[in-house]
């Protein structure tokens, strides 16, 4: 199992190091893992003048899976757009054709108190957001900023989906629903947007192949509201790139912290890139304060989805549960009576709990 490790920027290197530690511990127990590191994002720009250096892309293409930390930082915000760290991330998603982004939001019972929502609203929460990742406003052409006829600056992006793009991610959504609670809610804005009208039509077509899955449709504004009103009504949420970006940040807070959520981005052959859904958190970078659990749980997803190694994935997830049950917490999830750990100590605790 060849893994390309791309730590990135900010807290990326710290949290990735902990996930690597956990994978190394599994390798000592006989899992055949090979890992190689390369720079991406701001680190890629610093090393090679490109947020996705050619050598990094080649390493990722040759690997079976990619483990990524986070990209971005204030130092790079004034660069021309193509040189910014975020472009490295968007390009690698596109180059590897990682169109299906899986973002599970599951509440560990021990963290019910850490959520800003009342425990009875979130306890037992277990939902999966399936976000389309290589289309929509993020990649739609035309896009740009220009001077219009009135001589003022005008900016535009294009929300755009071909039916094949909707169909392939819808299949992934339904397949995942089949393995879970057999409920899928497709989220769009079909009352206003043609893109969403087509989205809904294609999802209804695909649903015919999955008669056991109960399909519902929801407008994105209502979905944002329902996620905090009654999040347990959801099993699988299927949605486009921009809506999924927004709703997955919202869903993460139901689980106590954005520092708890991992993700998988898959191509048609289940090759994948695995990353925490949080960003590079420049304000706490280099201070050993970050929560590495989202990245560690992303590594578990890698073992499950790309390598079909459920046993190893379960070991990691059980390790994380054990650590939380012992009351060990990083700053983002700490509550009175718990023990505060730094990033590296949290990684060690998970290794010890394996
Ligand atoms: C995410 C992030 C990225 C996105 C940014 C960093 C480009 O917010 O993975 O959710 O918008 O997809
Ligand atoms: Mg986001």
Does any ligand 1 atom lie closer than 6 A to the CB of residue 267? no
- Residue 301 has what pLDDT? 96
Residue 70 CA: nearest ligand 1 atom is 6
Within a 13 Å sphere around the CA of 130, how many CA atoms are in the beta-carbon half?
26
Mean pLDDT of 233-262: 94
Active site residue 76: no
CA dihedral sign, ordered 273, 277, 280, 286: negative
Joined together, the tokens standing for residue 204 give 């209804």
- CA of 36 from ligand 2 middle (Å) equals 26
Does any ligand 1 atom lie closer than 6 A to the CB of residue 247? no
Contact 32, 307 (CB under 8 A): no
Active site residue 283: no
**Is the predicted pLDDT of residue 222 greater than 90, yes or no?**
yes
Residue 93 CA: nearest ligand 1 atom is 12
Active site residue 94: no
CA dihedral sign, ordered 188, 189, 194, 200: positive
Interval 183-206: pLDDT, tens:
999 999 999 999 999 999 999 999
Does any ligand 1 atom lie closer than 6 A to the CB of residue 294? no
| Number of residues written out for the chain | 354
Joined together, the tokens standing for residue 19 give 């996930």
Q: Determine which residue's CA is closest to atom 11 belonging to ligand 1.
A: 245
Does any ligand 1 atom lie closer than 6 A to the CB of residue 89? yes
Q: Scan for tokens 């970050």, then name that residue.
A: 290
- CA of 245 from ligand 1 middle (Å) equals 7
Instruction: Show Cβ contacts of residue 341 under 8 Å, excluding neighbours closer than 6 positions.
Output: 328, 329, 330, 349
Residue 101 CA: nearest ligand 1 atom is 9
The enclosing H or E element of 268 equals none
Instruction: Show Cβ contacts of residue 165 under 8 Å, excluding neighbours closer than 6 positions.
Output: 99, 132, 134, 135
- Residue 114 has what pLDDT? 84
Q: Determine which residue's CA is closest to atom 5 belonging to ligand 1.
A: 86
**Is the predicted pLDDT of residue 112 greater than 90, yes or no?**
no
260 pLDDT band (50/70/90 cuts)? Answer: very high
115 pLDDT band (50/70/90 cuts)? Answer: confident
Task: Kindly identify the ligand whose nearest atom is closest to the C-alpha of 90.
Answer: 1
Q: Determine which residue's CA is closest to atom 9 belonging to ligand 1.
A: 277
d(CA 78, CA 354): 43
Joined together, the tokens standing for residue 198 give 């087509």
Active site residue 332: no
Contact 262, 277 (CB under 8 A): yes
**Is the predicted pLDDT of residue 82 greater than 90, yes or no?**
yes
Nearest to 91 by CA among 114, 63, 68: 68
3-state SS class at 63: coil
Cα 32 to chain centroid distance, Å, stands at 25
Q: Please, what are the domains in the chain?
A: 1-99+268-354 (3.40.718.10), 100-266 (3.40.718.10)
Question: How far is the CA of 175 from the CAs of 29, 131, 199, in angstroms?
Answer: 32, 14, 17
- Residue 256 has what pLDDT? 85
d(CA 182, CA 214): 6
């Amino acid at each position: 199992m060849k893994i390309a490790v791309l730590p990135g920027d900010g807290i990326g290197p710290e949290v990735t190091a902990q996930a690597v530690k956990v994978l190394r511990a599994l390798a000592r127990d006989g899992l055949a893992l090979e890992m190689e590191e390369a720079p991406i994002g701001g680190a890629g720009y610093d090393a090679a003048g490109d947020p996705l250096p050619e050598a990094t892309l080649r390493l990722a293409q040759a690997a079976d899976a990619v483990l990524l930390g986070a990209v971005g930082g204030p130092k790079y915000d004034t660069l021309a757009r193509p040189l910014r760290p975020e472009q490295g991330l968007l390009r690698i998603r596109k180059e590897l054709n990682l169109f299906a982004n899986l973002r599970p939001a599951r509440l560990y019972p021990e963290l019910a108190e850490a959520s800003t929502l009342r425990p009875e609203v979130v306890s037992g929460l277990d939902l999966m957001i399936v976000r389309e990742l290589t289309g929509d406003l993020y990649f739609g052409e035309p896009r740009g900023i220009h001077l219009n006829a009135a001589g003022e600056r005008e900016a535009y992006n294009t929300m755009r989906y071909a039916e094949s793009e909707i169909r392939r991610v819808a299949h992934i959504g339904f397949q995942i629903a089949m393995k879970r609670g057999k409920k899928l809610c497709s989220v769009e804005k079909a009352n206003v947007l043609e893109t969403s009208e087509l989205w809904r039509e294609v999802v209804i077509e695909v649903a015919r192949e999955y008669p056991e899955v109960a399909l519902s449709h929801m407008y994105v504004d209502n979905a944002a509201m329902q996620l905090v009103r009654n999040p347990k009504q959801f099993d699988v949420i299927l949605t486009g790139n921009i809506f999924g970006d927004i709703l997955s940040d919202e869903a993460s807070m139901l689980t106590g912290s954005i520092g708890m959520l991992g993700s998988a981005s898959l191509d048609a052959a289940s090759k994948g890139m695995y990353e925490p859904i949080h960003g590079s958190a420049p304000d706490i970078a280099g201070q050993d304060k970050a929560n590495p659990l989202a990245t560690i749980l992303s590594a578990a997803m890698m073992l499950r989805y790309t390598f079909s190694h459920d046993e190893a994935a379960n070991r990691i997830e059980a390790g994380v549960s054990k650590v939380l049950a012992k009351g060990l917490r990083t700053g983002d999830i700490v509550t009175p009576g718990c023990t505060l750990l730094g990033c590296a100590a949290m990684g060690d605790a998970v290794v010890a709990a394996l």
